[in-house]
Structure 1
Amino acid sequence: MEQLGFDFGVEPQPLIKVTPARLSLYDDCPRRYRMTYLDRPTPTRAGPWAHNTVGAVVHNAMRELFGLPVAERTPERASVLVSRHWRSAGFADAVQVARYAETARRWVADYVEAGGADADVVGLEQWVSATVGSDPAAPSLIVEGRADRIDRRGTELVVVDYKTGRRTPEDADARRSRALALYAVAAGRTLRAPCSRVELHHLPTGTVAVAEHTADTLGEHVREAEETATASRAAADRLTRGGDPDRLFPARPAPRCAWCEFRPSCPEGRQAAPAARPWDLLTPTT
C-alpha cells in the first residue's frame, strides 16, 4: 500500500556552516573573502606580519598557562611560556625582536600579577557549535569556531577573547563584536549552560571590555550573521555557475588595504593605500 505524504514542492535549503571569521571577512571585503576561501589555487599572499606573530605567541602562551592548575599560573611561568612559543617572523631586525619578546613577557606576567589567572576555566580554544537562525523554528546556520577561553562564574559561562593590538577596546567594542556574541550562543549550546557575558582582555593595558547580552541582542547578532551568510552563499553559487568573480566579490578599498595579505593580487588595494611595513602595526612599547 502506498504511503501518503505531503509534498509542497519546496526544496529545503541546506544549513550554511559559518565561522565568525568568515562572516567578518565577507563584510569587510568580499574580494578578500573570495581569495581566502574560494579561489584555487590561492592567490599570492604578502609575507608575515610582526603584530600577528606577537598575537599568536601571546595566545599560545595564555592557552598553555590556563591549562595549568591555578597555583602554577605564576607571573614567572607566564613569562617562560612566552619565551617557549616565541617566533621572530615579520620584525624589522634582531633589536626589535628582542624588545617585543620582552614586552610580550611583561604583558602576560602583569596579567597574572593583576589576578587574571584565577579564573575557573572550562574551555581553552574550545570548539563550540550551534544551529541558529532568526526564526528559531527554521534555523539556517551552523555557527562554529574556537573561543580563546570560556570561564565559569557561578552558574553561567563567560566568553573571553584576548587582544594585543594598538587600540584599547571599550565596552562598546565588546557589545558590537559579532564574533563574541556568536561564541556566546554556541558556548551556551555546546556546554549546556547560560552564556550572556563576553569580555575583551587587552593585555598591553590590562583593560577588560565587557558586554552583558540579552536574548534580544544575541538574536540581533544572529540575524545579521544570517544576512551575511546568505549573501556570501548566493554569491558563491553564482560564481560556481560562471559568474564574474570581480562583480560578485568586489573589492572594498580602505586604509586596511595597506596590510592586506592579498595586496600583491589586488590592484584596487594597492591603489587604496601605500604598503605598510610588516612591523608597522605593532603595539608601541613603553
Structure 2
Amino acid sequence: MGQLGFDFGIEPRPLIKVTPARLSLYDDCPRRFRMTYLDQPAPSRTGPWAHTTLGAVIHNALRELFALPASERTPERAEALVSRHWRSGGFADAEQVARYAEAARRWTADYVERHGADAEPVGVERWVSATVGSDPASPSLIVEGRADRIDAHDGELVVIDYKTGRTPPSDEHARRSRALALYAIAASRTLRKPCSRVELHHVPTATVAVAEHTDADLNEHVQKAEETAAASRAAADKLTRGGDPDQLFPARPAPRCAWCELRSHCPEGRQAVPAARPWDLLAPTT
C-alpha cells in the first residue's frame, strides 16, 4: 500500500530576500539596479564622489563614538574620530579638502553636543532581519540590512539613520522612508521590543526629523516592498531566460542621472542632464 499523504498541487512561494537599498534602487532606476546587482562582469563606475566620501567619514566616526560609554562620547572625541577616518576622494582641491575636513569635525562635534549625551544605543550598525508579508499567514519577504543606530527609549526601540546631504530632511521624509519603516519592523523582530519611531539625523545642521508609525503605515510599506521585490525578481527571471535587458530593466531618466556612477553606460541618462562635478552635492559649509 502506498504512503498516505496530501498533495494539493500548490508549491509554496519562495521567500524573496531583500534589503531596503536594493528595493530603493529598483524603484529609482531598473537599469541601474541591473548594472549594480545582475550584470557580469560588473560595468565600470565613475571615480569617487566627495559627498559619498564625507558621508562615509562621518558615519564611521559616529559608529565608533556611539559604541563607547556615554561618558566618553564627547565633542572632542567626535572631532578626533573624524580626523582619524578622514579621506579626500572626490574633492576639488586641497583647499576644499581642508575646508570640509574642518566642517566635518565641527558638524560632528555640534551634533554630539546636542544629541550624544542622552542617547541609549542598543545597536550600532546592527544587522537586523525579519520575515514579513502583507498577509501575516503567508510571508513573502526576508527583509534585512544594517541600521546606523538603534536606541532604546521608554521601553521601545528607535531606528536612527544619519544624513549628511545638502538639505535637512523633514518629518515627511522620515515618514515616507521605506528603509526606515522596514528597519523598524526588522529591529522589533530581531531585538524583541516594539519599534514605531524612526528618525533621520542630519549631522551638518544637528537637526532631527521624526516619524511615529502606526501598524497601518508599516503594513503599507511592506505592501510596496512586496510589489517592488516581485517586479524585480520577475524581470531578473526573464533576463536569465534570454530576455532583452533594456526592455526588462529600462532607464528612468531623472535629475539624479547627473551623479549616477554608471551614467557612462546609459545614453538616456547622459541625454537627460549634464554630468555633475564630484563635489556638487556637498552640504554647504556655512
Q: Could you say which TM-score interval applies, normalised by the shorter chain?
A: over 0.9
Partner of residue 74, structure 1: 74
Partner of residue 235, structure 1: 235
TM-superposed deviation, 1:184 = 0.0
TM-superposed deviation, 1:9 = 1.2
Please tell me the residue identity of whatever aligns with 2:259: W
CA distance in 2, matches of 1:93, 1:147: 33
CA distance in 1, matches of 2:38, 2:162: 29
Where 2:284 maps in the other structure, the secondary structure is: coil
Where 2:123 maps in the other structure, the secondary structure is: strand
State the Cα deviation string for residues 120-154 of structure 1 (Å, max 9, x = none): 10000000000001110000000000000000012
Please tell me the residue identity of whatever aligns with 1:10: I
113-122 or 137-146, which moves further after superposition? 113-122
Contact 1:130 1:143 in 2 (8 A): yes
TM-superposed deviation, 1:10 = 1.6
Partner of residue 30, structure 1: 30
State the Cα deviation string for residues 3-46 of structure 1 (Å, max 9, x = none): 32211112222100000000000000000000000000111211
Contact 1:130 1:189 in 2 (8 A): yes
Please tell me the residue identity of whatever aligns with 1:129: S
Q: Identity rate of aligned residues, in percent?
A: 80
Q: Which aligned runs of 4 or more in structure 1 are off by greater than 3 angstroms?
A: none
1:264 lines up with 2:246 in the alignment: no
Contact 1:66 1:117 in 2 (8 A): no
Partner of residue 285, structure 1: 285
CA distance in 2, matches of 1:265, 1:226: 29
State the Cα deviation string for residues 100-119 of structure 1 (Å, max 9, x = none): 01001001100111143431
Partner of residue 18, structure 1: 18
Partner of residue 249, structure 2: 249
TM-superposed deviation, 1:204 = 1.0
Partner of residue 208, structure 2: 208
Partner of residue 43, structure 2: 43
Contact 1:79 1:108 in 2 (8 A): yes
Partner of residue 110, structure 2: 110
Where 2:105 maps in the other structure, the secondary structure is: helix
Partner of residue 91, structure 1: 91
Contact 2:73 2:116 in 1 (8 A): no
Where 1:145 maps in the other structure, the secondary structure is: strand
1:160 lines up with 2:160 in the alignment: yes
Contact 2:163 2:202 in 1 (8 A): yes
Contact 2:129 2:189 in 1 (8 A): yes
TM-superposed deviation, 1:60 = 0.2
Contact 1:107 1:204 in 2 (8 A): yes
- Counterparts in 2 of 1:180-195, with a 5 A limit? 180-195=180-195
Where 1:95 maps in the other structure, the secondary structure is: helix
CA distance in 1, matches of 2:47, 2:271: 19
CA RMSD of aligned residues (A): 0.8
Where 2:280 maps in the other structure, the secondary structure is: coil
Structure 1: state its 5+ residue gaps. Answer: none
CA distance in 2, matches of 1:284, 1:27: 29
CA distance in 1, matches of 2:75, 2:39: 44
CA distance in 1, matches of 2:115, 2:165: 21
Please tell me the residue identity of whatever aligns with 1:205: T
CA distance in 2, matches of 1:8, 1:2: 17
Partner of residue 134, structure 1: 134
What TM-score, normalized by structure 1, do the two folds share? 0.99
CA distance in 2, matches of 1:176, 1:215: 14
